[in-house]
Amino acid sequence: MKLSAILVQIDMGSIALPEFQRGYVWNRDQVRKLMRSLYLSYPIGSLLMWETITESAHPRGDSTLSTGTVKLLLDGQQRITSLYGIIKGTPPPFFDGDATRFTGLYFNLETEEFEFYGPVKMQDDPLWIDVSELMQIGAGRFAARFYKSPILEQKADVYLSRVTAIDSIKDRDFHVDTITGENMTVDTVVEIFNAVNSSGTTLSKGDLALAKICASWPEARDEMKSRLTKWEHAGFNFKLDWLLRCINTTLTGESLFVALKDVRTAEFAKGLKIAEHHIDFFLNLIASRLGLDHDRVLGSRYSFPLLVRYLQQQNGHLANHQERDQLLYWYIHTFLWGRYSGSTESVLQQDLNAIRDHDGGLERLINQLHQNRGELRLYARDFEGATKSNRFYPLLYMLTRVWHARDWETGVELTAHLLGRLNSLQVHHIFPKALLYDYGYSQHDVNAIANFTFLTQETNLNVSDRNPIEYLDTFEARNPGAVQSHWIPMDRGLWQVERYLDFLAARRELLAQAANNFLNSLLSGRVPEARPAESILDREAVTIYKNIASDEEDRILRKCQSWMEQQNLPSGEFSYELVDENSKEVLVVLDLAWPSGIQEGKSEPVALLIDEEPETLKIAQSRRFRCFTDIDSLISYIQSEILGEQISN
């Protein structure tokens, strides 16, 4: 079938895209290579379509389909979408993605190169021509201008042959394999779709499972995204795969997505609502009972598939406050010791098996933690260091909330959402960085977790870079007990910068004692009942700064995430742990990471590391991560190697 005929049939609604296909994911380099291959008459593969009756088709987008039958494009979406956009100058009706990936493509008449428009390189240079313009007006009309240009006229015949070659791409024949027959069910077609795409743009296990669901319930993806948006507004950023896994465990009690293969549409829709309800319950519980009220301090999102299954087995209700608090005790220890770091599916299945028989299930969960860790007790050494203390950052925030630490300036407990421009919670260096560096302390010591606490932004600004020997007494006199409520050793001698390491050692002891007291109280059911709290999902998301090195680093990381979203690229994972596969101990924590690559499965793992120690960089590189230490170099890499853009100065 000629390409021009394919495009006409798309406009007529005779060819469409099935709903279970995900959106457009190609980058500019792939588009450029496709056009070059077509220009040189290289083979680019065949297309696969499924011909079915229009009434049973579930197409992507809202275009009107032809009556009778329609052909759904199974293999070739990225190629046809790119060519439609280049030739028509606009995306096809079923488009879902970033149109800048294929708009603005130019061709150099002399070098025969395809590149995307760059004003510095191409402006006022007649050798660079707009490919979409050529496709729309035809080679003959386009070439007429050659004879009006002194530069182009000399080789007008050569250039004419080249634009004709590009224009003739519209008449390129594509071999089309078509699936037909009454026996071709949606399930069969999805299996074929997965098989033919296995060597193309890599799909995650979740993508494949969701493809099957969307085949019979086209709205499934949008319904799930609406839940993710709701949680995002409350300050929790979850991914589609995560929600799908929660639905899976809710419905099947299994960790692997393959368990969804026999789940019917109505059952899945019901499972989504149930999982949403259970997730809401635990977000509220963890926020009100533990004070972990924001995505960056949540601790272990990968424990949620187990939690929702546990609640489902209880018909949505925990028996009593002891069961509730012991479940929270288990939850805290899952993120302290990296229960779900590494092989998440196998460990999750082990835990799901432990609660299959509800009687004694919670006890078995806790016993499995004991088997992996020995005793579930914290020691002062657990609060040592900076890079290895990431798991203890949510713990420090939690202790601040549950033990009612008070703001030094106001004396107000830091337990509620503190609204207002200057009342967001901020990480505070008790000993300021500049002071410590002036005295020769290492970056590792400066960023020790025992040197951090939480204050309101206003108080943090008031403290600024003052020496603790100067300001701590002032706050203690103003609000007695407020300084001590942050587990600050009250030996004034330890507030001197010369004794900074002794201060860290003393505070680590206090933090370990506070943590053990709270965890033991949870386990025994002795934590006092908190006053009823409003739903975490009904109030404005609290603002806290996650990166323990500086607020500026947090700003950089958020800027990077925002830029990625604007490019329609996957978001990275904050504070990604590289763990020892045997001991499960954290080796390093990467500020922002794409462990499966910017193009999942198609490019190398990437990490953005801001102001990190050389050892962190070394370990990350040993795990084959491509590391960047500033956002500009990361963006340049993505533009040149992922998006395929030409960088113009």
Quickly list DSSP for 453-471: EEEEHHHHHHHTT--HHHH
Least confident piece of the model among 421-430, 488-497, 574-583, 623-632: 421-430
pLDDT > 70? residue 197:
no
Q: What is the mean pLDDT of the chain?
A: 85
Confidence grade of residue 644 (pLDDT, cut at 50, 70, 90)? low
Least confident piece of the model among 245-259, 577-591, 630-644: 577-591
Which stretch of DSSP H or E encloses residue 636? helix 631-637
> Could you tell me which residues come within 8 angstroms of residue 440 by beta carbon, excluding any fewer than 6 positions away?
none
- 6: helix, coil or strand? helix
pLDDT > 60? residue 420:
no
Tokens 């839940």 — which residue? 227
> Could you tell me which residues come within 8 angstroms of residue 483 by beta carbon, excluding any fewer than 6 positions away?
408, 472, 475, 476, 490
pLDDT > 80? residue 437:
yes
Least confident piece of the model among 102-106, 195-199, 255-259: 195-199
**pLDDT on residue 342:** 63
The CA distance from 592 to 341, in Å, is 16
The CA distance from 399 to 63, in Å, is 54
Could you tell me whether strands 586-594 and 606-608 are parallel, antiparallel, or unpaired per DSSP bridges? antiparallel
Confidence grade of residue 417 (pLDDT, cut at 50, 70, 90)? very low
pLDDT > 90? residue 283:
yes
Least confident piece of the model among 34-43, 435-444, 524-533: 524-533
Confidence grade of residue 646 (pLDDT, cut at 50, 70, 90)? very low
**pLDDT on residue 380:** 93
pLDDT > 80? residue 21:
no
Residue of 198 and 597 predicted with greater confidence: 597
Least confident piece of the model among 88-97, 110-119, 505-514, 551-560: 551-560
Confidence grade of residue 388 (pLDDT, cut at 50, 70, 90)? very low
**Percent over 70 (pLDDT), the chain:** 87
**pLDDT on residue 201:** 47
Q: Taking the CA atoms of 128, 130, 135 and 139 in sequence, report the sign of the dihedral they define.
A: negative
Residue of 344 and 34 predicted with greater confidence: 34
Q: What is the mean pLDDT of residues 205-228?
A: 80
**pLDDT on residue 94:** 87
Q: What is the mean pLDDT of residues 556-562?
A: 84
Confidence grade of residue 572 (pLDDT, cut at 50, 70, 90)? confident
**Percent over 90 (pLDDT), the chain:** 46
Confidence grade of residue 126 (pLDDT, cut at 50, 70, 90)? very high
CA dihedral of 180, 186, 188, 191, whole degrees rounded to 10: 120
Spans of all domains in the chain: 3-179, 205-373, 380-538, 551-642
The CA distance from 241 to 283, in Å, is 18
Among the listed residues 258, 249, 279, 246, the one whose alpha carbon sits nearest the alpha carbon of residue 349 = 249
CA max distance for the chain: 91
Least confident piece of the model among 42-46, 156-160, 165-169: 42-46
Confidence grade of residue 423 (pLDDT, cut at 50, 70, 90)? very low
CA 90 distance to own-chain centroid: 29
Quickly list DSSP for 376-434: ----GGGG--SGGGTTHHHHHHHHHHHTT-B-TTT--BTTS---STT-SEEEEESS-HH
Which of 643-647's residues contact partners 24+ apart within 8 Å by CB, and which partners?
643/27, 643/28, 643/29, 643/101, 643/567, 644/27, 644/28, 644/29, 644/30, 644/31, 644/32, 644/116, 645/28, 645/116, 645/118, 646/115, 646/116, 646/118, 646/121
Least confident piece of the model among 360-369, 549-558, 595-604: 549-558
Tell me the C-alpha to C-alpha distance, in Å, between residue 148 and each of 99, 139, 145, 331, 474. Answer: 33, 15, 5, 74, 81
Residue of 639 and 399 predicted with greater confidence: 399
**pLDDT on residue 533:** 59
**pLDDT digit string, tens, across residues 598-639:** 876 567 899 999 878 788 889 999 989 999 999 999 998 888
Tokens 């007008």 — which residue? 156
**pLDDT on residue 219:** 85
Q: What is the mean pLDDT of residues 193-218?
A: 64
**H helices of 532-595, where?**
551-566
Confidence grade of residue 389 (pLDDT, cut at 50, 70, 90)? very low
Residue of 259 and 342 predicted with greater confidence: 259
> Could you tell me which residues come within 8 angstroms of residue 460 by beta carbon, excluding any fewer than 6 positions away?
426, 428
Q: What is the mean pLDDT of residues 213-239?
A: 86
Count of beta carbons in the 10 Å neighbourhood of residue 123: 10
**pLDDT digit string, tens, across residues 289-327:** 998 888 878 888 899 999 999 999 999 999 899 999 999
Strand residues in 54-150 grouped as ranges (E): 69-75, 105-108, 114-116, 128-130
